[in-house]
Structure 1
Amino acid sequence: MIDMAPNLVLVVTIAVMFTVGVYLVLERSLSRVLIGIILLGNGANLLFLVAGGRAGRPPIVGLEPEGQMSDPLPQAMVLTAIVITLGMTAFLLAMAYRSWQLNRHDEVQDDVEDRRIARLAAIDLRAVQDADTEESGQSLDEEAEEARDETDDRREGGPS
């Protein structure tokens, strides 16, 4: 019987990396968001490797018995995750550098529209009134049945 229990230290490390990574991604500072993305990426890499099972022999068919070979899919997923994390890191570094050049800080600020929507949400009002659907009282399905499409003419023998 093969022991498939994961190492408890790795599981705790993954949980801590995801927890701290999510916390940092929710911050306003781009440098903290960058560190959070890196931690989330590394946590995902460890999760893939732990979920892939125990290490084994190289996965070359014919040289090793199938029960002793390692699964190559988690290794390919980790390689892909490394490339994605590297791309996100480069993008966030460029954003943080540009923000530092323009504002001398790297904090993301609310714009006027964000503040207006937050204010309306606090008093529980809609930001936009939809006059098309609110006045007619029809559901979206009923309106879709009545809507005329330009392509309907061609199917019904109309002008082409």
Structure 2
Amino acid sequence: MSFDMSPNIVLVVVIGVLFAAGVYLLLERSLSRVLLGVLIISNGANLLFLVAGGNAGRAPIVGSTDPSEMSDPLPQAMVLTAIVITLGIAAFVLSMAYRSWQLNGHDEVQDDLEDRRIARKAAVNAPTYTDSDSDEPEGTLDDDAADTRDETTEEAR
């Protein structure tokens, strides 16, 4: 029995689209979109495992099937493992989104003051292009911190 080892081009395109859409959603600020991105990438990875595993063969039971006709059980085991890992990640991101919704009324990830300070120092120290962000900031980090809502204080609650 001869197997054709070339993958179906439609499945390869679907895998590429799933990965592209998942990465796009991962770059969003909303945790619910990040969760959708993780789930879509996971589905793309599972499909990739199955396509890379080759064509389906007979049951991999020694003694009842000729070894040249057996299917490889490893891709199926990897997909099952990936499903369990994705379930754990999804539960974790859902709990973070729910907690963020309870505290803030939204599930968007906010900028950190330290991140903004590092970005400003990088823009001031190494201006490789002319941009409005590379100008010297008008305010200081302390001014920005006073303007920013601090969710850890009692006044914010």
Q: Give the TM interval when normalised to the shorter protein.
A: 0.7 to 0.9
Distance in 1, matches of 2:125 and 2:78, equals 44
Question: Match of 1:84, as an amino acid?
Answer: I
Correspondences of 1:9-158 after superposition (within 5 Å) = 9-124=10-125
Largest Rg, 1 or 2:
1
The unaligned stretches of length 5 or more in structure 1 are 126-160
Percent identity of the aligned residues? 73
The unaligned stretches of length 5 or more in structure 2 are 127-157
Runs ≥4 residues deviating over 3 A: none
Distance in 1, matches of 2:60 and 2:23, equals 35
* Two-structure CA RMSD over aligned residues (Å): 0.9
Give the TM-score of the pair, scaled to structure 1: 0.76
Q: CA deviation at 1:107?
A: 0.3
Number of residue pairs matched by the alignment: 125
Question: Match of 2:82, as an amino acid?
Answer: A
Q: Give deviations 1:41-81, integer Å, cap 9, x for gaps.
A: 11000000000000011110110011111000101110110
Distance in 2, matches of 1:65 and 1:49, equals 22
Give the TM-score of the pair, scaled to structure 2: 0.77
Distance in 2, matches of 1:15 and 1:73, equals 22
Q: CA deviation at 1:121?
A: 1.3
